[in-house]
Copies of this chain bind each other. A is one copy, B any other.
């Protein structure tokens, strides 16, 4: 067996190109993105994502997963791993993966979350992870939400991105798709005039819309929903963090 290709210098051209992959526009342009960390790389492999490249530090060289991708694997120095990493303590394993092909107008069913311009990458990632945990069927992000292929979003999804479909489209189109599929569409808002979430009638197929951190779900969207719901504030806080609110609502609606 030949030795794997080895990159020692962080000034290497290939490494410089890879660093650019964290920018959303380059992800969409190249149709590829990078994930980092053993857990995520293993999940991607297990859920049959298309690997284009694998980069590992020497301590991973004998790993079974790395051997599987031997033909596309490169060993890198600790120095290079630090340069590639988005974290302070890199694990030393990175994969470049093909962006999943997604249908333009998917048929929806079951329980979905739609994000109306949720902009913090940690919030978007955490909501996808929670949707997975709560047994939801998929997530749609509006065009101004944080891109789910961004490294920070990828990291907070913790592998859930491989467990359920994630689409990106205009929010109006998303609502139309859901309603065309006979799903109820619930807008969420911080407004006591909306319906408390735990008073909703149980539904098997619905889409739950979560809004922007500062402005919530836009008025334009709320008027098109079948029902608007809120989480009662029992103390003195003005609102909840959007990822926490999504969790309360997803589990709350699952146990109606």
The 8 Å CB contact of A240, one of B133, B238, B240, is B133
A158 to B239, CA, bound (A): 9
* Segment at the B interface, from A18-26, A122-130, A177-185: A122-130
Q: How far is the CB of A132 from chain B (nearest CB, A)?
A: 4
A53 to B131, CA, bound (A): 45
> A244 touching B130 by the CB < 8 A rule?
yes
Q: Does chain B have a CB within 8 A of A159?
A: yes
> A160 touching B236 by the CB < 8 A rule?
yes
The 8 Å CB contact of A241, one of B129, B239, B248, is B129
The 8 Å CB contact of A236, one of B122, B132, B198, B255, is B132
A252 to B197, CA, bound (A): 12
How many monomers of this chain does the complex have? Answer: 2
> B134 touching A235 by the CB < 8 A rule?
yes
Interface size on A, residues (CB 8 A): 37
Please, what's the 1-or-0 string for A140-156, where 1 marks a CB less than 8 Å from any CB in chain B? 00000000000000001
Q: Does chain B have a CB within 8 A of A233?
A: yes
Q: How far is the CB of A119 from chain B (nearest CB, A)?
A: 14
Q: How far is the CB of A159 from chain B (nearest CB, A)?
A: 7
A245 to B245, CA, bound (A): 11
Specify which chain B residues have a CB less than 8 angstroms from the CB of A255 in the assembled complex: 198, 252
Q: How far is the CB of A252 from chain B (nearest CB, A)?
A: 7
Q: Does chain B have a CB within 8 A of A164?
A: yes
Say whether, besides A132-B237, A237-B132, A237-B158, A231 and B243 are in contact (CB < 8 Å): no
* Chain A contacts with B in 206-244, Cβ cutoff 8 A: 231, 233-241, 243-244
User: Nearest 5 CB-CB pairs, A to B?
Assistant: A135-B234, A244-B247, A133-B237, A132-B237, A163-B236
List 9 A–B pairs whose Cβ atoms lie within 8 Å, in order of A's numbering: A129-B244, A130-B240, A133-B235, A133-B240, A136-B235, A231-B251, A247-B247, A248-B248, A252-B252
Chain A interface residues toward B at CB < 8 A: 122, 126, 129-136, 156, 158-160, 163-164, 198, 231, 233-241, 243-248, 251-252, 254-255
